[in-house]
């Protein structure tokens, strides 16, 4: 709503500048009533409600959910993540909050599995894709013919709370690379999480090293505006405390006669809202009580406008022609339409020519394959004929062998028959000879007796 008001004001100023008219200052003789306009705007905005979107970037188990619960003094539903995610995933949850008469639509986006992979080269890519996707949705709504930005569910990220692990004496390379890629997309607030594990001296040295490294690497973090007289002094002191060293806890601990949010240890308790123990109070002061509207405004006027300008330039839009003359939106639309149709026709011709070339290549390949198949068929045919001839020769040889075998078989059978017949006649002859032999001694004896006499 505020952005629409500013755009309307800028349009009026441009129209006044084009007409080269000088505004005259007049004094009213009495009260008219337009001094109630701010109250009307406030009532309208309160009735519509506000939205605020927070992106929490940090390693698993660093205390992101606990800090968010402590900031808003409630317990949000959030699934615990493990350290075995294959890639970084973004989990978005939206809640309706109300404090007195003010309604707030709060969206919290957690980075699940950030920094848990062995190869961390692509760890920040899902985060960038998510932020740009929300910008793209808002731009699509703006470019619609019938748009309703006043009722649009704005999901653009207004603030990125980047959680830095308190282990070590400097920033990790992953932290520097990620913040460098995010600084042109979103407002970044670096936070040293679980700061109660470090001493005050070590914590102060770590803060100085972090700010020096961010400055040397050119990482732009969110700076609280100090132009406003009302909050300038507060924001200047907050800028000096960056990065915030915070401790989150939803546990109620009784200290003396008071019940406070604290973390209990054997040696005592770390009070969350005690400025001597951590910077949680300053973080809440900056984020929710002083600069929430500025964070929303910076997101729209700086980060989103940068994305919108680059996107429209990619689409070919420009404010003026090369001669810095005024232009007509209708003429630009027609020119873009002709350019688009020409490019479309060129692509169509290219695709047609590519299709024709592909068809020719396919036909040539098919002909070549057909030729190969014919050659292979001829080879197989010759081989078949050769094998057929060989089989015929073998068949003839086998038939000749069979005929010779049959002839030999007949001859053998004939011989065997003759042999069997000869064998059958020979026993008869032997029997006859035997009988003759046995009759021979008697004759001999008779002859010998005769001789003796």
Q: What local confidence, expressed as pLDDT, does residue 392 receive? A: 92
For the chain, give every domain's residue range.
Answer: 42-313, 327-404
> On the CB side of 365, how many CA atoms lie within 13 Å of its CA?
6
CB 295 within 8 A of CB 159: yes
Cα 186 from Cα 303, distance rounded (Å): 6
SS3 call for 267:
coil
Per-residue pLDDT of the chain (453 residues), as tens digits, is 444 444 444 444 555 555 445 667 777 877 788 888 888 888 888 888 899 999 999 988 888 989 999 999 888 877 776 667 788 889 999 999 998 889 999 999 999 888 888 878 888 999 999 999 999 999 988 888 888 877 788 899 999 999 998 876 788 889 999 999 999 999 999 999 988 888 888 888 899 999 999 999 999 999 888 877 777 788 888 888 889 999 988 888 888 888 888 888 888 888 888 888 888 999 998 888 888 999 999 999 999 999 998 888 887 666 665 555 665 667 777 877 888 889 899 999 999 999 999 999 999 999 999 999 999 999 999 999 999 999 999 999 999 999 999 988 888 888 888 888 877 776 666 666 666 655 555 444 444 444 443
CATH class of 42-313: alpha beta
Cα 53 from Cα 108, distance rounded (Å): 6
CB 52 within 8 A of CB 97: no
Q: What local confidence, expressed as pLDDT, does residue 52 receive? A: 93
> On the CB side of 179, how many CA atoms lie within 13 Å of its CA?
27
Cα 3 from Cα 7, distance rounded (Å): 6
- Global pTM reads 0.67
H-helix or E-strand spanning residue 281? helix 280-284
**Virtual CA dihedral for 407, 410, 415, 417, nearest 10 degrees?**
180
User: pLDDT tens digits for 192-231?
Assistant: 998 888 888 888 889 999 999 999 999 999 988 887 777 7
Cα 107 from Cα 158, distance rounded (Å): 10
User: pLDDT tens digits for 279-338?
Assistant: 899 999 888 888 899 999 999 999 999 999 888 888 766 666 555 566 566 777 787 788
């Amino acid at each position: 709503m505020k952005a629409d008001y500013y755009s309307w004001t800028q349009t009026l100023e441009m129209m006044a500048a084009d007409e080269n008219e000088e505004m005259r200052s007049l004094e009213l003789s009495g009260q008219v009533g337009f001094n109630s306009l701010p109250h009307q705007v406030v009532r309208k905005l309160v009735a519509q409600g506000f939205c605020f979107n927070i992106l929490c970037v940090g390693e698993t188990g660093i205390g992101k959910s606990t800090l968010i619960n402590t900031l808003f003094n409630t317990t949000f539903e959030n699934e615990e993540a493990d350290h075995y995610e294959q890639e970084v995933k973004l989990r978005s949850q939206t809640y309706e909050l109300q404090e007195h008469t003010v309604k707030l639509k709060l969206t919290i986006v957690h980075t699940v599995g950030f920094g848990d992979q062995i190869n961390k080269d692509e760890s920040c890519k899902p985060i960038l894709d998510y932020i740009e996707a929300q910008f793209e949705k808002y731009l699509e709504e703006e470019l619609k013919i019938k748009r309703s930005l006043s009722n649009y569910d704005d999901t653009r990220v207004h603030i990125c709370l980047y959680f830095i692990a308190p282990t070590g004496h400097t920033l990790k390379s992953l932290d520097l690379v990620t913040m460098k890629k995010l600084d042109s997309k979103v407002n970044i607030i670096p936070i040293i999480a679980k700061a109660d594990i470090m001493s005050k001296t070590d914590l102060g040295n770590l803060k100085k090293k972090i700010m020096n490294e961010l400055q040397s690497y050119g990482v732009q973090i969110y700076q609280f505006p100090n132009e406003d007289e009302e909050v300038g002094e507060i924001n200047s002191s907050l800028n000096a405390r960056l990065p915030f060293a915070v401790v989150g806890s939803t546990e109620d601990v009784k200290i003396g006669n008071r019940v406070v949010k604290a973390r209990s240890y054997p040696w005592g308790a770390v009070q969350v809202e005690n400025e001597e123990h951590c910077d949680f109070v300053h973080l809440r002061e900056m984020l929710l009580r002083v600069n929430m509207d500025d964070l929303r405004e910076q997101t729209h006027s700086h980060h989103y406008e940068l994305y919108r300008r680059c996107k429209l330039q990619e689409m070919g839009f420009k404010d003026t022609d090369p001669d810095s003359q005024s232009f007509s939106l209708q003429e630009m639309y027609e020119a873009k339409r002709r350019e688009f149709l020409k490019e479309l026709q060129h692509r169509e011709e290219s695709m047609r020519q590519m299709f024709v070339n592909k068809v020719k290549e396919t036909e040539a390949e098919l002909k070549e394959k057909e030729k190969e198949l014919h050659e292979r068929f001829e080879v197989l045919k010759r081989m078949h004929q050769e094998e057929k001839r060989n089989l015929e020769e073998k068949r003839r040889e086998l038939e000749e062998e069979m005929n010779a075998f049959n002839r030999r078989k007949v001859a053998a059978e004939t011989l065997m028959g003759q042999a069997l017949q000869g064998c059958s006649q020979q026993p008869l002859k032997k029997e006859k000879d035997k009988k003759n032999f046995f009759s021979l001694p008697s004759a001999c004896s008779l002859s010998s007796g005769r001789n003796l006499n």
